[in-house]
Amino acid sequence: MELLAEVVAWFDDPATWAGPNGIPTRMLEHILLSGACVVAAIAVAVPVGLVIGHTGRGALIAVSIANVGRGLPSYALLLMLFPFFGIGFPTAFAALLLLTIPPVLTNTYVGVRDVDRDVVEAGRGMGMSERGLLRGVEMPLAMPVIVAGIRIAAVQVVATATLAALVGGGGLGRYIVDGFALRDDGQIVGGAILVAGLAILTEWVLGLVERRVVPPGVGSGASAGPPAFQYTAEPRPAGTT
């Protein structure tokens, strides 16, 4: 219970909440870094994924990128990119972006690819243009899967942005890394609580969004509940295992 007291004392200390190392500042840094990565990843990966899913061209490249992304851990990426991008935000942003793109890309591609081909053909038969098909038929139907990819990516980024502290970046990871250095258990666990809370909150909020974007007329099976028991052989959309 000594530990609990230390954690409470850390949260209770006014110094914990003030200045450039205060919780509000660190929390904002964490959210801005994560948000910037997710927005950039969506801007890059969603259009590419849509085109690959629609045309079927470049699928192999998409799968390869996703697999390499899985094999290279973010921790390794951060340390490797440091010589090129330097201290703090630039390195963290570059490493996290590389981590964020694969799940969004894979899910967008798989989501569009797995849209019922009969529905697409029906649209084509009604005279819809290819662009119109993509925008009016495939994208809405794939939306739950795309948002699931964004959710996975966002939770991963929030979790991994913690490691940005290793390369001199800000964010909530500072408390854990500094706490280890100072052997300050209250600060370590306090930081861990904040990071875990933020990750769980992100998961929960985007889970709600995911349920909202199921287009009308599509069965609730598309995204209701955890995607358990779904296993798609390669390429595996993120969040299905």
Partner 1 sequence: MNWGWIPANLPALIEATIDHIVLTAIAVGVGFAISLALAILIHRDRRAFGPVSAFTGLLYTIPSLALFAFLVPITGLSLLTAEIGLISYTLLILVRNIVAGFDSVPAEVSETAAGMGYTWAERLWRVELPIAMPLIVAGLRIATITTIGLVMVTALIGEGGLGQVMLRGFNFRNWVAVYTGAALTLALAIAADVALVAIGRLATPWATRRAS
Compute how many other C-beta atoms are within 10 angstroms of the C-beta atom of residue 133. 20
218 binds partner 1 (CB under 8 A): no
Residues 6+ apart with CB under 8 A from 180: 188
CB of 62 vs partner 1, minimal distance in Å: 17
Site residues (CB under 8 A) for partner 1, limited to 151-180? 155, 158-160, 162-163, 166, 173, 176-177, 179-180
Query: Tokens 């199921």 correspond to what residue?
Result: 214
228 binds partner 1 (CB under 8 A): yes
Site residues (CB under 8 A) for partner 1, limited to 78-97? 79-80, 82-83
| Coil/strand/helix, residue 213 | coil
CB of 132 vs partner 1, minimal distance in Å: 36
Which secondary-structure segment (H or E) carries 179? helix 173-182
CB of 20 vs partner 1, minimal distance in Å: 21
Dist. CA 170–CA 167, nearest whole Å: 9
Dist. CA 141–CA 124, nearest whole Å: 16
Interacting residue ranges for partner 1, rule: CB under 8 A: 3, 70-76, 79-80, 82-83, 155, 158-160, 162-163, 166, 173, 176-177, 179-180, 185, 188-189, 191-193, 195-196, 199-200, 203, 226, 228-231, 233-234, 236, 241
